[in-house]
Every structure is written in structure tokens, then in C-alpha cells.
Amino acid sequence: MIRALIIVDVQPTFCEGGELPILGGDRCADDIAYFLKKNRDRYRLLITTQDWHIDPGAHFSATPDYVDTWPPHAQAGTVNARIHPALQGFAYDAAIRKGHYGAAYSGFEGMNDEGVSLNALLTGAGVTHVDIVGLAQSHCICETACDAVKYGFSVRVFSDLTVPVTPELGEKASRVMCERGVALVRSCDARW
């Protein structure tokens, strides 16, 4: 059993004070940092994903509907598109950036600076099990977790290390993930 931890889109743009803030985003970042200090050695790979929008077209809107269109956020090269300060002190094996020229909710839609996809990185390292944490549970966590299952990984989402955009959207995403075979567990209850 070879594990990877994927930290999805924990960026200031999605935290309090950011362009598209999620209530509890900063605390989620702090909780993930604490988890990493205790559990880094359990993972073969530690991978981050980031929204990294260069020109995402209709994904951005001056009058967003918050379903298909959003206010400008995670603009490539800005401070708020970087990894959250609470998570900057760790040694990551890869950084996956997604959404350069369009919407991209799943980490599996992105690639690292060398053009290698998330799936290729995981399979190349022999990873069989993936744990996922980050922002937002109702969107990019759900999409990344469901894609991980699709690619054949055993997938857990640590429910205490993510937050949804709204509780209602979080409940919907939880149902979708469970239906697709994603295990939703608290990190303190994880079996290794």
C-alpha cells in the first residue's frame, strides 16, 4: 500500500479576505499544517494543487452566477494564488496547477511545471491509495476525489480537513463522493 496526500487549492484566494472566500478556509489551512507535521512520513508523495488562472475565459465574470461563472480569483502569479502561508514550510514532491485557460475543478485536469499530469505522477510512483484534503469540499475536493476513483485509486477524503462553500453544497458533494466510492473519514479516525 503506497499512499499520496493531495492538498487541493489551499490558497489565500479561497480563504477569508480572498477574492472567493470560504468561511473556515484559514482554519482549514492551519489544521492541514498540523496534520502534516504529525503524518508526513506516512506518504510516498505530498502533492499540492492550485487554481492558476491565466485567461480562463467565461469562467470569470463581472456578474457571476456562482455556478458556472465566478469573480476573478487565483490569478496566476499573484500572492493570493500561491499556497497558503500556513503550508509554505513543507517540502512538496509536486505542485499541480490547473485552469490556465478555462475552468478546472479536478486536480487531474492540471499538470506540474514539466507538463506531467497528476495521474502520471501518482502512477509513476506506484501510488495505490490517495488521501485528499483542502478547499473546497463542495467543488474541487469532490471533483478531484471522484476522478481519483475513476483512475483506479483507493480514495479517502478527510472530512475534518476540508470545508464546503455552503453546508448544503457540502452535503450534496458528500453524497456524490460516497456514491462514487470515496471514503469520507475524519483524519483522527484514519487507519494506516
Active-site annotation holds for 9: yes
Give the ranges where 106-165 is alpha helix by DSSP (H). Answer: 118-124, 142-150
Q: What b/e string do you get for 66-77 counting C-beta neighbours within 10 Å, with b at 16 or more? A: eeebbebbbbee
Question: What are the cell numbers at 96?
Answer: 499541480
The candidate with the shortest Cα–Cα distance to 188, out of 31, 41, 24, 48, is 31
Active-site annotation holds for 140: yes
Length of the chain as a residue count: 192
Phi and psi (nearest 5°) for 56? -80, 15
Spatial strand order in the sheet of 129-135: 94-98, 45-51, 3-8, 129-135, 154-163, 183-185
Task: List, in sequence order, every beta strand (DSSP E) within the chain.
Answer: 3-8, 45-51, 94-98, 129-135, 154-163, 183-185
Angle at CA of residue 14, ends 161 and 149, nearest 5°? 50
Catalytic residue among 28, 140, 142, 146: 140
Catalytic residue among 15, 28, 98, 147: 98
Active-site annotation holds for 113: no
Active site residues: 9, 98, 140
